[in-house]
Amino acid sequence: MSMEQLREQLTRIQPLDKDAIQQATQRQQQLTKPAGSLGRLEEIAIRLAGIQGTPIPKIQRRDVIVMAADHGVTREGVSAYPAEVTPQMVLNFLSGGAAINALARQAEAAVSIVDVGVATELHHPQLIERKIALGSANMVEGPALTSEQLFKAIQVGFDVLDEIAHQGSDLVAIGEMGIGNTTAASAISATLLQQPVEALTGYGTGINEQQRQHKIQVLQRAVQQNQPDPHDPLDVLAKVGGLEIAALTGVVIAAAAHRIPVLIDGFISSSAALIACALQPRITDYLFAGHASVEPGHRLILAQLGLTPLLSLDMRLGEGTGAVLAMHILEAALRTHREMATFADAGVSERTENT
Ligand SMILES: Cc1cc2ncn([C@H]3O[C@H](COP(=O)(O)O)[C@@H](O)[C@H]3O)c2cc1C
Ligand SMILES: O=C(O)c1cccnc1
């Protein structure tokens, strides 16, 4: 993929359908409940109407896309777990034994696992094998990705989303697996939000405070070395990002182009969404924030995107877990919107005037 093809995809993204929003809003006002009483469920149903371009939207097929890749920066000792966990967890996803598998079964969501850059040879009939490199380079020494790798990774996101859209997906959750990727997410978000890295650096998989201080120093070195340009999201993504984050950026852009709503997950997947929205601000209209991660940077990203998390369960796992859990909330919003009777249908008296 080239810059021109990316630009073309970005120009395909349309505003939400105003008529559908207006009709869905009217319907909400006619349903048998005090006006506004379903709170954010009402807003969700109305926004889904605008995304799908129909007053009574439906979610039938649900998908979660998990992008996996390794990070050269793990050599600096930034994670509580060794890098081998990335391929080991990919195999665990493929045999159905990870948290995302259990939650996806509950939500009846199809799981796609994509190897976009795991640092080990991996083969499995259910694995989407799109390896671009054996992990990113160590961002402390230079750019994490070459420009070619960056565009290839975004293309993987487009291709995987196109395939899922072709199969009729109505809702996509995004997740990731990559030991060391909270470091990349911190570097991306600190740069784009123009905040000091310490404000967006957390404990990841469970490092202690001393190790967090070390992680902050590593991040400062990486930013110093690469000088990512806060006004150039692709420069940031290449210099201090990662292959799975770039691929998720592609998924988010392509989903918005296909008018498919996207549930973003925790800190890492939200940093991919932050890049996508920096490229085309309209994309935020297509996003729902599944949950609020424990990672301190996550709150700051969501504030920047103007998104309120649907759940707050003190989770800090990734894989798409918080996003898939929140599918139940979107379903609930649509159930009430679709199935409730109107005041007229049910013969229920409407609000008294002048009170
Ligand atoms: C067993 C295991 C399963 C995981 N599933 C997601 N992550 C999460 O933790 C990693 C990021 O944290 P850090 O930057 O501290 O390495 C990512 O792989 C993320 O998806 C996991 C981590 C582990 C150890
Ligand atoms: O917020 C997340 O998604 C997260 C946090 C810690 C580790 N892995 C993922």
Q: Are 47 and 68 in a shared domain?
A: no
CATH of the domain at 197: 3.40.50.10210
Kindly state whether residue 352 falls inside one of the protein's structural domains. no
Q: Quick one: pLDDT at residue 1? A: 83
Its ipTM equals: 0.99
Scanning the structure block, which residue is given the tokens 């000792």? Answer: 77
Kindly state whether residue 353 falls inside one of the protein's structural domains. no
Q: Quick one: pLDDT at residue 355? A: 59
How far apart CA 276 and CA 251 sit, in angstroms, is 9
Quote the ligand 1 centre to 302 CA distance (angstroms): 20
The tens digit of pLDDT for each residue in 10-41 reads 999 999 999 999 999 999 999 999 999 999 99
> Which ligand 2 atom is nearest residue 268's CA?
3
Count of domains observed in the chain: 2
How far apart CA 95 and CA 101 sit, in angstroms, is 9
Contacts of 239 (CB under 8 A, 6+ apart): 139, 143, 144, 145, 226, 227, 228
Q: What is the pTM of this model?
A: 0.98
Q: What is the residue range of 113's domain?
A: 62-328
The answer to whether 6 touches 147, Cβ cutoff 8 Å, is no
Please give the distance of CA 162 from its chain centroid, rounded to a whole number.
16
Best probe residue, ligand 2, of 64, 74, 182, 212 (max atoms within 8 Å of C-beta):
182
Q: Which of 286, 353, 346, 261 is nearest to 30 (CA)?
A: 346
Q: Are 288 and 250 in a shared domain?
A: yes
Pocket lining for ligand 2, CB < 6 angstroms: 182, 204-205, 265-268, 293, 295, 298, 316-318
Residue ranges in the chain whose pLDDT is less than 70: 355
The tens digit of pLDDT for each residue in 279-302 reads 999 999 999 999 999 999 999 999
How many CA within 13 A on the CB side of residue 352? 2
Best probe residue, ligand 2, of 181, 183, 295 (max atoms within 8 Å of C-beta):
295
Q: Quick one: pLDDT at residue 354? A: 72
The tens digit of pLDDT for each residue in 42-58 reads 999 999 999 999 999 99
Q: Which of 42, 76, 295, 319 is catalytic?
A: 319
Burial class (CB in 10 A: 0-12, 13-18, 19+), 326: buried
Does the annotation count 319 as an active-site position?
yes
The answer to whether 262 touches 59, Cβ cutoff 8 Å, is no
Kindly state whether residue 268 falls inside one of the protein's structural domains. yes
Q: Are 235 and 272 in a shared domain?
A: yes
The answer to whether 228 touches 235, Cβ cutoff 8 Å, is yes
Q: Are 277 and 197 in a shared domain?
A: yes
